[in-house]
Amino acid sequence: MHLVAIGGSDAGISAALRARELDPSVDVTVVVADAYPNFSICGIPYYFSGEVAPWQSLAHRTHADLEATGMNLRLNTFATSIDVAGQQLAVRDETGQLSNIAYDELIVGTGALPSYAGIMGLDELTPEDGVHVIHSMGDTFALERFLTERGPKTAIIIGAGYVGLEMAEGFTARGIRVTQLQRGPEVLSTLDPELGALVHSELTDHGVEVHTDTVVHGVEKSDSGLTVHAERGGIRVTHSAEVILAVVGVRPNTTLLADAGATLGPAGAVSVDAQMRTGLPHVFAAGDGVATHHRLLGLTYLPLGTTAHKQGRVAGENALGGQAQFAGSVGTQVVKVFDLVASRTGLRHDEAAAAGFTPLTTQAIADDHKRYYPGAQPISIRITGDAGSGQLLGAQLVGRLGTETAKRVDTYATALFAGLTVEQVSDLDLSYTPPLGSPWDAVQVATQAWSRAAAAR
């Protein structure tokens, strides 16, 4: 039995680890396009901020750790095509040498690629020009080299999603003045603008110049530096800086599977069932390249590291004949932006309406712990529930670092997973001690506010 996994990031490595854990007699090969298997891509912003050093510590596991599990790593090896009928994977090594790897079962975890969102010039200008993405360790080294060698004092970050915000903090920590350009009406568009506004303030409080409603059309290099051409409120604007970082989202990297005949689904991601089967015989897929089973939305595209880990594990088990199921995402996400923590799970109001629910959304503010105990801080919480059934549909939280906001969202995530109503969240038996909570936890102050609004409708 020879199991081949493609991809050195979360899905591929998780699959390989699970297979080796379940059956140490299985021969497992992991084909990795670069030399950096099992690196924590989510940690890259903290390398730039200087909080993580050296870069090697970003590895979830070292090369030696991985080999100790008995898996074989084929580094710097690019998978070029799959012969599904012949059960052969064609690969190209770093010297350009082509070869085939025979497999009994194949798991594809090729992940996603940076999106350029139609911005002119992004695909022509290079790191050498000062135009960067950070999607791989190679990108990371290129940006670090640029920052070290050229010492830019100003940066433009195109995009204000998770990575864009983390990089705004990272650049600021290095003394680089950041201009952040965001297409939508507020930063962190995965939150409702009412809460995104709190994140916006945190950015400006730390010296980041934020421009929302700014649609970037193109990036240009001239003798005087780098210029971003954009439109804001129907007016053409330009911004200049010494370095540009484009973090405007990702698109599923599906070429390999699409060429092999796999079906594509939402956002062009590869369709898989809950067992991570692609429909092609003996070919599984997992991670940022595949469509995501969402417990509230059905099949969607929502690439997340946590999901990739879970899907990879399922694929690894099933490639060995198992019947594991990916239980589904509820879209739980959290980001730290300077001293603020912003998190969400489930659906925002508009998403819920689009999915056919009758959403009601309310916002509450509650202290993280009893006000009489020193250090209490407010957490802003938005609850979305279905006005008809009372089902909890989503929650968004913004609180300061230290308010346990990151793990409070998990209470809602668990309730969503279990299909609880908003009222049932108010009934939960949550922990309380004055330095760390309240008899009605902030989580429940928010759901009670929702219930009052629902009753008043």
3-state percent breakdown (helix, strand, coil) of the chain, nearest 5: 30, 30, 40
Residue list 322-381, contact with a copy of itself (CB under 8 A): 327-336, 341, 343, 345, 370-374
Closest distance to a copy of itself from the beta carbon of 391 (Å):
13
Options 73-81, 87-95, 358-366, 440-448: segment touching a copy of itself (CB under 8 A): 440-448
Closest distance to a copy of itself from the beta carbon of 311 (Å):
11
Which CB atom, from 45 or from 252, has the smaller least distance to a copy of itself? 45
From candidates 74, 309, 348, 382, binder to a copy of itself by CB under 8 A: 309
From candidates 134, 155, 167, 413, binder to a copy of itself by CB under 8 A: 413
Separation of alpha carbons 386 and 434, rounded Å: 32
Closest distance to a copy of itself from the beta carbon of 282 (Å):
25
Separation of alpha carbons 5 and 103, rounded Å: 9
Q: Which residues make Cβ contacts (< 8 Å) with residue 57, sequence separation at least 6? A: none
Draw the binding track, 143-182, toward a copy of itself (x: CB under 8 A; -: no contact).
-------------------x--------------------
Draw the binding track, 241-280, toward a copy of itself (x: CB under 8 A; -: no contact).
----------------------------------------
- Quote the radius of gyration of the chain (alpha carbons, Å): 23
Separation of alpha carbons 336 and 209, rounded Å: 18
Task: Write the DSSP string, 247-267.
Answer: ---EEE--HHHHHTTPPB-GG
Separation of alpha carbons 14 and 95, rounded Å: 28
Closest distance to a copy of itself from the beta carbon of 173 (Å):
13
Which CB atom, from 59 or from 264, has the smaller least distance to a copy of itself? 59
Options 114-122, 137-145, 228-236, 423-431: segment touching a copy of itself (CB under 8 A): 423-431
Draw the binding track, 48-77, toward a copy of itself (x: CB under 8 A; -: no contact).
---xx----xx-x-----------------
User: In which element (H, E) is residue 395 found?
Assistant: strand 392-400
Identity of residue 345: T
Closest distance to a copy of itself from the beta carbon of 401 (Å):
8
From candidates 299, 428, 445, 453, binder to a copy of itself by CB under 8 A: 428
Torsions phi, psi of 5, nearest 5? Answer: -115, 140
Angle, alpha carbons 64-69-72 (nearest 5°)? 75
The tokens 């309380």 sit on which residue? 432
Options 67-75, 130-138, 236-244, 428-436: segment touching a copy of itself (CB under 8 A): 428-436
Nearest to 231 by CA among 207, 209, 214: 214
Residue list 286-305, contact with a copy of itself (CB under 8 A): 295, 304-305
Residue 179 CB coordination number (10 Å): 20
Nearest to 44 by CA among 171, 152, 180: 171
Neighbouring-strand partners of residue 353: none
The tokens 């699959």 sit on which residue? 15
* Position 415 contacts a copy of itself (CB under 8 A): yes
Draw the binding track, 25-44, toward a copy of itself (x: CB under 8 A; -: no contact).
---------------x-xx-
Residue 255 CB coordination number (10 Å): 14
Which CB atom, from 134 or from 256, has the smaller least distance to a copy of itself? 134
From candidates 108, 178, 404, 451, binder to a copy of itself by CB under 8 A: 404
Which DSSP symbol is given to 269? P
**Length of the chain, in residues:** 457
* Distance set, CA 174 to CA 27, 139, 153, 170 (Å): 45, 18, 9, 7
The tokens 């070290």 sit on which residue? 148
Torsions phi, psi of 57, nearest 5? Answer: -75, -10
Which CB atom, from 366 or from 415, has the smaller least distance to a copy of itself? 415
* Position 433 contacts a copy of itself (CB under 8 A): yes
In the complex, the residues that contact a copy of itself under the rule CB under 8 A are 10, 40, 42-43, 46, 51-52, 57-58, 60, 162, 295, 304-307, 309-310, 327-336, 341, 343, 345, 370-374, 402, 404, 406-411, 413-420, 424, 427-437, 439-441, 443
